[in-house]
Structure 1
Amino acid sequence: MVSGVTGENGAISNMLYEHNGQKMELIETITANNLPDIFEAHYHHEHMDNTMKCTFTPLGDNQTQYTSFIEYTRINWVMPRLMAILLPGVYKKPVKRWLENFKKFVEGQ
């Protein structure tokens, strides 16, 4: 935790991801935490920024629809910018993997 109260609006945290030996550090700022309905945050990386909005809609007993919208608001490195234009799937695959991991986590609770 960098500042604020964990999980509350305005809280800023360092996040470290590792996949296949590659590490990525992000700074997360929570912009809206209205769980169980909505969660929104801004993520900063040295080469890019993005925002994420997640909504949770009850579908019935023990079922929830999870919808996420991710928008890259800044990409300042040439290679990722070209990849975003020419190969947008490069950014969609990790997001899909994160969502699948989140699903496994939630269903395992």
Structure 2
Amino acid sequence: MKYTIKITLAMPRNEVIAKFDNENNLEHWQKGLVSQEHISGTKGEVGAVTKLRYAMGKQQLEMIETITFKNLPEAIHLTFDTKNVYNIQQNYFEATTAETTTWISKNEFKFSGFMKFVGFLMSKAFKKQTILFMKNFKAFAEEGKSVLDN
């Protein structure tokens, strides 16, 4: 399953990147994030591996994030691996004007085992979650406060 989502932020690209590339900001825009644990590699650089834990309703989800490419402010690519789901995410940041930035997120999901069936049935839910995270980041970046306090 592949899809691309775009969102425009009303702020310069360097400010978007400063907020996006700060691991301490994840808790302000990724609802359900419980913890993050650096596993290996140099934090924030290509090859860095982080364990992310989420609580989504009564479900607990643990995934491994790996930075596979980083050329900021233009792009950062990541993979997310959890049981039977592998997500390849390519993020691009375009300076649309001096005061606006377009974030383009290209996602590819690969499913195995039972998730092949579930992933097919719930494809809209994966896309909806990506849109929610991107909208939350936009609100956090533009307003400078956690959007999850409400």
For the aligned pair, the TM-score class normalised by the smaller chain equals 0.7 to 0.9
Per-residue deviation, residues 66-85 of structure 1 (Å, max 9, x unmatched):
00011012x1232x322433
Q: State the superposition RMSD in angstroms.
A: 1.5
- The answer to whether the 8 Å contact 1:83/1:90 transfers is no
Structure 1 unpaired stretches of 5+:
none
Q: Distance in 1 between matches of 2:138 and 2:56?
A: 18
Shift of 1:24: 1.1
Q: Which residue of structure 1 lines up, in the alignment, with residue 91 of structure 2?
A: 54
- Residue of 100, 109, 114 corresponding to 1:72: 109
TM-score (norm 1): 0.87
Q: Distance in 2 between matches of 1:72 and 1:35?
A: 24
Report the count of equivalent residues.
Answer: 107
Structure 1 residue identity aligned to 2:112: N
Structure 2 unpaired stretches of 5+:
1-37, 145-150
Q: Which residue of structure 1 lines up, in the alignment, with residue 138 of structure 2?
A: 103
Which structure ranks higher in relative contact order (CA pairs < 8 Å, sequence separation ≥ 6)? 2
TM-score (norm 2): 0.65
* Identity value in percent: 28
Deviant stretches of 4+, over 4 Å: none
